[in-house]
Amino acid sequence: MAVKNVNLCVCIFLFLVALPLYSQANPSKPKAEKPSPFEFIKHLEGCHKGEKVEGLQQLKAYLEKFGYLNYNHSQNQNHANDDDFDDLLEAAVKTYQLNYHLKATGTLDAKTVSQMMKPRCGNADIINGTNWMRGGKKRPDHGHNALHTVSHYSFFQGNPKWPSNQLTYAFLPGTNSNAQSAVARAFDKWAAQTHFTFSRSQNLGSVNLKIGFGRLEHGDGVPFDGRGGTVAHAAAPTDGRFHYDADESWSMGAEPNAIDYETVALHEIGHLLGLDHSSVREAIMYSEVPVGATKGLHGDDIQGIKALYNIA
């Protein structure tokens, strides 16, 4: 979503400064199939530290986008724009593997490549170097007499939240009726589990939450990347912006090769309320977006929002 400190699902949407409304684009199915923006990762399978392979520079940009890699304060700054598989890239791959419950080898094995290629939320997994996805609670393992981390929900840095439990929302021009009804249902589901009430307004200028579509560079400083790749993003409190990617194939419910409006709305509303990504695969706040399937709120999501707002 030019934005400062953005920690969006491409993103890094934390606290955004006030900006003009973004340009709108009506969603439509692409006329011709194009490769996913993440397709380049496929031919990197098997790459590991010490190799030089074309496409690793793109992988570095991918991992930087989602918070795993930052050459700015490294002695290896000169490797940021090359195809060398260096120590920093290996460490980033290991962290990614840990976040997604994969074996942390640092090598781009088949499971890691498959996970990286999946459509996902544009918000970053790691913000300003803090890996919130691995910040789980500790619990004793009585069988081994040790402490183990429990993967769970996370919050944005600084735990931003809304000062009021009565929020208003409106749709940006061009938002189709299917998306509008799906978003309204998603708000109802979050309301049923929280102290929030969500009221729709026609006055776009005065609402807390603004929802609509964008395509590629759409005015918020966090461009989409075409079909596949990142499919939506939303800002942390109290910015209130949520965008669907207009280039995706969207559906009402589970349809082959399409993405369900309501499933994505549930996820992005979680961001709007202050939840960051969860490392629980079944949670709605898991960053991966299912294709051809639907998903609902999970106990981890409900536990997270109640913890953030001290809801009994």
Residue with token string 């509008």? 180
**Torsion sign over Cα 156, 162, 167, 170:** negative
Q: How many C-beta neighbours within 10 Å does residue 216 have?
A: 12
Residue 226 in marked binding region? yes
Which residues are identified as catalytic? 268
Residue 248 in marked binding region? yes
Closest-CA residue to 1 (of 139, 124, 161)? 124
Strands 197-200 and 166-171: parallel
Alpha helix (H) ranges present in 120-260?
177-193
Q: Amino acid letter at 299?
A: G
Identify whether the C-beta of residue 102 lies closer than 8 Å to the C-beta of residue 112: yes
Residue 277 in marked binding region? yes
Residue 82 in marked binding region? no
Angle at 271 between CA 266 and CA 275, to 5 degrees: 105
Residue 300 in marked binding region? no
Q: If residue 197 lies in a helix (H) or strand (E), which one and from where to where?
A: strand 197-200
Residue 225 in marked binding region? yes
Q: If residue 74 lies in a helix (H) or strand (E), which one and from where to where?
A: none
Residue 121 in marked binding region? yes
Which DSSP letter does residue 120 get?
B
Q: What share of the chain is helix, strand, coil (3-state, %, to 5)?
A: 30, 15, 55
Residue 245 in marked binding region? yes
Residue with token string 């400190």? 5
DSSP string for residues in 33-63: ----TTGGGGGGTT--TT-B-TTHHHHHHHH
Q: Binding-site residues, please?
A: 121, 218, 220, 225-226, 233, 243, 245, 248, 267, 271, 277, 285
Q: Binding-site residues for Ca(2+), please?
A: 225-226, 245, 248
Q: Binding-site residues for Zn(2+), please?
A: 121, 218, 220, 233, 243, 267, 271, 277, 285
